[in-house]
Structure formats: C-alpha cells, structure tokens
C-alpha cells in the first residue's frame, strides 16, 4: 500500500499566454521545477486557483498529460476532476488515472445544492470507475453545499479510495468531527489556518500560497507536523498579511490574479487570469501597488525561515 499523502500541496495556478489564449507550457515547466526545488511534495492542478472552469476538455487533457510528464515522478500530481454533471466528473477522473495522475480532488456537484444522497451517489459513480485516491473538497462558498461530518464519515467508510478531504468550511472544529465520524480513517487537510487545523488533527494542507512562497509554505507545514507551534505562527502571521492586502479592496477570488502576479514577482511569470475573473492587468495602479506591498513580505518570509532553520541547526 502506498504511503499516505501529507504535507503542503500547492493548489496551482494554470499558466496562460498573453490574453489567456492558450496554456503556456514553457512557463509551466519553469514553475514546476521551482516547486520541486523548494521541496514541495505535491501539487493539485485544475482546482479553484487553477481556473478549472475556463479550460476546454481538450485543454484539460493536454494539461494533465503535460503536467505528469514534466513532473516525471518528482512530486505527486493530484487533479481536480469535479463537474456539475456526474458523467463528466467520472470521465475526467478516468482520464486523469489513465494519464498517470497520483490522485484526485473533487468538490461536490456545484450550483444544484444537491442532497446528501445525491452527493453520495456522485462520489459512488466516480469510485466505481476509478481507482485513484480521492480527496473530497468541502467548500460551501463555491459548491453551495456544506458536507457535514456525518456525510464525510459515511463516504469514507463506504469507499476505500476516499481517505482525504480538503476541509474549507472555515469551521476548525470540523477537523476533529470528521476524524471522529470516519472512525479515524479520514486524513483531514487544512483549507485554511494551518496551526489551528493541525492542532485539531489535520494531516496536510491544500496551499494556494505555494504559488509564490513555496519554500516557506513547505517549512511551516513540516513544523506543524512536528508540533513546533511558535515556528508555525512566525510564518502564518506573515501569510495573514497577504490575505489582508488582497481582500481589502478586491473580490473573494482575487487570489487567482494576485497569485499569478506574485509568482511573476518571484521570477516565474505565468500570465494573467481568464474571464470572468478580474485580470491583474485591469487593476492597473491599484494592483501594482498591492503587489509592491506584498513583495517585502515574501522577502521577510525568506529571512524568517532562514533564521528558524539556522537556530534549529545550531541547537542540534
């Protein structure tokens, strides 16, 4: 049996050429090499941050295939295969398995506000067609449904592929509740607030910040696994400042365009977002000023991680 997945998995952007005309594979190669060099144990493509709804089926297939090939076993590759239509979610999942993905991340059918039985049957259809490990994705803010702990426990105990969940309901106590309801079978991954989630029993982190601060992201999750809470907070408190800057004057999913702008500031340009999301270019001076406020935070994180690592080494 394969070792359980754990650690900080970057839920990645999807790189586009100017104007969003096509996927930029040259930029993608450099970005993936950077993630590997920073010690990222895995990535999740075609999630919310990856603008999965804006890609055609042909683009999806090519992107999964290219990603698996470019990574070439150096880290795990999970693929978002959700869809509002169950047969499409099944088809995407089967295809990802055939193309060599290591696992799937799947949100419940969005838009429809499905019942618990409808959600159960959606995942059942996927599990019957595909053998990859599945990470449930509970995000009521986008799917319009909040999967309660009892339903997650039911799914976990019914299907052996379902052993992970990205819990993004912003209810930290849900981490513990899911562990209890699944009889300890479910590995809960934080969707936010790493320190608090790990104290409640989380085993991984689905990490949008890995798109521009991958090294610090990897380290503070490693420290959370070790119970080094002061070190975790040293990083998490700075990450909170990114959130404050991004959200103070921009819509909820401004994280997509700023993730790309900050990746570019780190030396890995990956283009802009596709409509209807607000492009970074359209933000003009406002966007550039926000990035100028966040670049020093990126530099501060490097210094904090260096200091913690050096202090730890000196004490050993």
Burial class (CB in 10 A: 0-12, 13-18, 19+), 29: middle
Per DSSP, 210 falls in state: G
Residue with tokens 């608090």: 196
Q: How far is CA 25 from CA 70, 207, 255, in A?
A: 9, 22, 22
Structural tokens at position 210: 């890995």
Three-class DSSP category at 118: helix
The catalytic position among 76, 166, 203, 260 is 166
Catalytic residue at 166?
yes
Q: How many angstroms separate the CA atoms of 301 and 157, rounded? A: 40
Residues across the chain: 316
Catalytic option among 137, 164, 198, 253: 137
Bridge pairing between strands 7-11 and 204-207: parallel
- Please, is 256 exposed, middle or buried when counting C-beta atoms within 10 Å of its C-beta (0-12, 13-18, 19+)? buried
Give 285: exposed, middle or buried? Use CB within 10 Å, 0-12, 13-18, 19+: exposed
- The rounded distance, in Å, linking the Cα atoms of 136 and 133 is 10
Residues assigned a catalytic role = 137, 166
């Amino acid at each position: 049996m394969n070792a359980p997945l754990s650690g900080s998995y970057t839920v990645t952007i999807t790189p586009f050429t100017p104007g969003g005309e096509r996927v930029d594979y040259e930029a993608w190669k450099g970005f993936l090499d950077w993630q590997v060099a920073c010690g990222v144990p895995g990535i999740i493509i075609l999630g919310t941050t990856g603008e999965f709804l804006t890609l055609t089926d042909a683009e999806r297939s090519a992107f999964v295939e290219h990603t698996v090939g470019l990574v070439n076993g150096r880290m795990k590759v999970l693929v978002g295969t959700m869809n509002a239509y169950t047969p499409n979610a099944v088809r995407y999942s089967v295809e990802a398995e055939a193309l060599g993905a290591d696992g799937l991340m799947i949100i419940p059918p969005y838009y429809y506000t499905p019942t618990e039985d409808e959600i159960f049957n959606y995942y059942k259809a996927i599990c019957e067609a595909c053998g990859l490990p599945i990470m449930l994705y509970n995000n009521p803010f986008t799917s319009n449904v909040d999967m309660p702990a009892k339903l997650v426990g039911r799914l976990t105990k019914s299907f052996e592929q379902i052993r992970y969940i990205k819990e993004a309901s912003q209810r930290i106590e849900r981490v513990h509740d899911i562990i209890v309801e699944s009889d300890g079978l479910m590995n809960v991954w934080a969707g936010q607030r790493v320190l608090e989630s790990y104290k409640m029993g989380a085993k991984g982190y689905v990490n949008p910040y890995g798109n521009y601060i991958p090294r610090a992201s990897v380290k503070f999750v490693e420290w959370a696994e070790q119970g080094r809470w002061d070190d975790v907070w040293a990083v998490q408190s700075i990450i909170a400042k990114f959130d404050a800057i991004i959200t103070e004057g921009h819509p909820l999913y401004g994280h997509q365009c700023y993730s790309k702008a900050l990746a570019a500031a780190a030396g890995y340009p990956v283009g802009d977002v596709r409509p209807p999301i607000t492009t970074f270019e359209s933000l003009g001076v406002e966007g550039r000023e926000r990035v100028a406020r966040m670049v020093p935070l990126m530099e501060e994180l490097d210094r904090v991680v260096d200091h913690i690592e050096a202090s730890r080494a000196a004490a050993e």
